[in-house]
Chains A and B, each alone.
Chain A
């Protein structure tokens, strides 16, 4: 069942990714499209709440230090339309996230895509590049 959902996500993601999604804040105010990040780690928490769903990933550096990352997804109405559900990501899942880092330098980022443990890459409902949006 879960496999089907993920396949659906990937297909829808390809279609939707072309059109940035309207969000409740300016992408450019908070995130820097010129600071791309690619982070691999285990999911420690998922917040299925608005205005954005969020998930948290722990990354263990080579020196053993653990960094906590906070990833912003799209709003739940947007994610649901793309096939996401509350249980699409689970605690312990090892994922690779591509996104844009917060301008304030914190380990916060806007997730553009999430590559799941099985290698499939799904769109994350990012609002990247929507300022100003075409309405």
Chain B
């Protein structure tokens, strides 16, 4: 009897260990490493980290008949119409495949996706409300605020046709998401999402989960459309279905060239500083001038390749096929920088609607994990008020500019960022690439601040596939 009681006590003890208070709220006891809760410099919990598993794909307890029929139809086609297989965003609350990170600052938290699209989602935390007359987007418009230790994110303005879960549950343009995030300690995050969409569900419903900090070294640059052979197989299976096959621009020269918007006059003022006294590069920036000192001094093979691209009238421009412009070439649409003491995040609106991170935490590039990528691996350090960023680990597929200047996979890029005043950012770029260049190539680029501007969602693949036209 005593043995039984001991055994029972042991079982209770084990169960208690497996079910900490934090795990009782969510669905499962995901347990990340313990440790003190990191705090942001404004006194709120710092949500930054790799939190693979953010998002949901659960089934609602109740669903209206028309929506249930759509799910059944899509299931009968085995999900062959799923946007995700076509390198289009899943959109919240769907869990993105591979790794997902949060990048937190006091005024904005960004969700960074490794896949399915290597894009970002901005959660504005500046007290602003949803803009009026929202244009529907894959990721919606997200405004966040703190309720105690919980970050509460309110999202509306969804593009109706996206697949926000694996089952293909439809949604209406009136879908309203409330996501809540609570970092419990160093290694554990609680997430809760409530979906309210009266056109689909009789009543709002809520999903909860616990997410452990992911020990992944970092997120790689996942370029979904680089070698996506799936649509051809999927379309073959859908040929008898009433769903129209994607109209493709791929054979007619790709997406239209990106057109600049006229930026506002940059404000005057002194160089802003961060809470810890560094130059702040934060803001929405428009590239204005790039001063080139003539043509790069190319090795023979690179010169031949460059001449071929020019003779071809840039017919194979990666940008027109939604492939990344890399770290050197800019597009005319705005860029945005958010800054933490350990990392700068640079996001861009156009081209791949993606991001670079400049790690200032002393790490080295991990070329074992990711020997090459389109935008490389960037690490930085401060030289007084200049931020110096070194980037390596490139492939040789990007163009240095729209004319098709080539480079090799040995390229070493050095960027020196300066902000001489409030309204301007100057970058001096040096390309050291002995395999392609006989000597390093240095030039400067100027950005002007665009107050009041924000990055708009641009999903190149959706334009290339004619998704919006269907």
**Interfacial residues, chain A to chain B (CB-CB below 8 A):** 22-26, 28-30, 47, 49-52, 54, 70, 72, 75-78, 80-81, 85-86, 102-104, 106, 108, 131-133, 135
Contacts and interface: CB of A to CB of B under 8 A. Distances in A.
B216 interface: yes
Contact of A30 (B95, B216, B226, B233): B233
Nearest to A134: B57
Contacts of A132: 57, 79, 166-167
Interface stretch (B1-9, B128-136, B184-192, B217-225): B217-225
B220 A51 contact: no
Interface of B: 55-58, 77-80, 82, 84-85, 87, 95, 97-99, 114-116, 166-167, 216, 219-220, 222-224, 226-230, 233-234, 236-237, 368-371
Nearest to A23: B97
A61 to B, nearest CB: 24
* The 7 A-B residue pairs with the shortest CB-CB distance in the complex, in nearest-first order: A25-B85, A26-B79, A29-B80, A49-B227, A29-B78, A77-B98, A135-B57
B226 A49 contact: yes
A29 B82 contact: yes
B187 to A, nearest CB: 18
Contact of B371 (A51, A72, A86, A108): A86
B78 A28 contact: yes
Contact of A26 (B80, B116, B219, B371): B80
A80 B82 CA distance: 26
B233 A51 contact: no
A24 B237 contact: no
Given A81-B216, A86-B371, 18 more contacts: A22-B98, A24-B97, A25-B82, A30-B234, A49-B223, A49-B227, A51-B226, A76-B222, A77-B98, A77-B219, A77-B222, A80-B369, A102-B233, A103-B233, A104-B236, A131-B166, A132-B79, A135-B56
B198 to A, nearest CB: 25
B230 A30 contact: yes
A104 B78 CA distance: 14
A10 B28 CA distance: 29
A133 B234 contact: no
Contacts of B237: 29-30, 103-104
Contacts of A52: 227
Contact of A50 (B55, B227, B233): B227
A80 B227 contact: no
A54 B227 contact: yes
A29 B57 contact: no
A23 B229 CA distance: 14
B115 A50 contact: yes
Nearest to A28: B78
A50 B219 contact: no
A114 to B, nearest CB: 19
A25 B230 contact: yes
Nearest to B117: A24
Given A26-B78, A81-B216, A86-B371, A54 B229 contact: yes
Contacts of A81: 216
B229 to A, nearest CB: 7
Count chain A CB atoms within 10 A of each CB in B216, B230, B371 and give the residue with the most. B230
Contacts of A26: 78-80, 82, 85, 166
Given A24-B87, A51-B115, A77-B222, A29 B234 contact: yes
A47 B166 contact: no
14 contacts: A24-B87, A25-B79, A26-B78, A26-B166, A47-B227, A50-B226, A51-B227, A75-B115, A77-B99, A103-B237, A131-B79, A132-B79, A132-B166, A135-B55
Count chain A CB atoms within 10 A of each CB in B78, B167, B371 and give the residue with the most. B78
B56 A77 contact: no
Contacts of B84: 24-25
Contacts of B98: 22, 75, 77-78
Contacts of A72: 229
B166 A135 contact: yes
A66 to B, nearest CB: 21
A79 B388 CA distance: 33
B206 to A, nearest CB: 16
Contacts of B369: 80
Nearest to A31: B233
Nearest to B81: A29
Count chain B CB atoms within 10 A of each CB in A25, A85, A106, A131 and give the residue with the most. A25
A133 to B, nearest CB: 6
A50 B84 CA distance: 13
Contacts of B222: 50-51, 75-77
A132 B94 CA distance: 13
B50 to A, nearest CB: 11
Contacts of B226: 49-51
B97 A29 contact: no
A135 B222 CA distance: 21
Contacts of A80: 220, 369-370
